[in-house]
């Protein structure tokens, strides 16, 4: 009988920032947010991971602590691969090791883009606009009226766009059917 990956509920922590890397989680279903927290307690969401993503790869490969916290934002399944098993697999299969190197390179370039977006945006509204456009581009949505299904709270959107501590008002529609109805919500 085949083993099924464990189901993690919303808000389950897969690993915590600063914890020694002990392996990777391969997200099979659901979504997880990756976040980091400053010494002052300010949190920034660095990524929303989806099925197929390998979480904790940088820490596991480099034998360092996890640089982010991985928390499920919706229920999902994930397979855990311990460090020693992953490293042996990469040693035995060069093609897989090359793909991991490519993934780490993509992660580096993605982090560079995020730093530029956060550091070079002039206002919280500009950061939020870049964030939403980026999410739309990731989906490959070429329609004239892209729609995003967000699994984040307003506070988490603020953490993802690294907005400053003061709120800025943003309009979000309250109904999918009514394009004239909207409500103002704070984005931190």
Per DSSP, the three-state class of 123 is coil
Q: What are phi and psi of 121, to 5 degrees?
A: -70, 140
82 in Cβ contact with 20 (< 8 Å): no
Give me the domains of the chain, ranges plus CATH numbers. 1-120 (2.60.120.10), 125-188 (no CATH)
User: 72: which strand partners?
Assistant: 32
pLDDT tens for 93-117 read 999 999 988 888 888 877 777 777 6
Angle at 152 between CA 147 and CA 155, to 5 degrees: 120
- What does DSSP say about strands 168-173 and 31-37: parallel, antiparallel, or unpaired? unpaired
pLDDT tens for 35-75 read 999 889 888 888 889 999 999 999 999 999 999 999 999 99
Selection from 110, 137, 130 nearest residue 47 by Cα: 110
pTM: 0.65
Highest mean pLDDT among 34-48, 145-159, 171-185: 34-48
């Amino acid at each position: 009988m085949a083993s099924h990956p464990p189901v993690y509920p919303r808000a389950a922590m897969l690993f915590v920032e600063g914890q020694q890397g002990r392996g990777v989680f391969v997200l099979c279903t659901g979504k997880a947010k990756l976040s980091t927290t400053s010494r002052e307690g300010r949190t920034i969401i660095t990524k929303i991971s989806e099925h197929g993503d390998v979480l904790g790869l940088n820490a596991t490969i480099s034998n360092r602590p996890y640089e982010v916290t991985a928390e499920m934002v919706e229920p999902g399944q994930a397979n855990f691969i311990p460090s020693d098993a992953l490293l042996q697999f990469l040693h035995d299969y060069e093609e897989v090791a090359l793909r991991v190197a490519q993934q780490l390179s993509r992660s580096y370039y993605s982090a560079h883009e995020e730093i530029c977006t956060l550091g070079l945006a002039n206002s919280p509204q500009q950061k939020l606009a870049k964030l939403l456009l980026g999410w739309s581009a990731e989906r490959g949505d070429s329609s004239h009226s892209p729609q995003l299904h967000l699994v984040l709270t307003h506070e988490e959107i603020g953490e993802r766009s690294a907005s400053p501590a003061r709120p800025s008002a943003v309009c979000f529609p309250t109904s999918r059917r009514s394009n004239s109805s909207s409500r103002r919500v704070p984005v931190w």
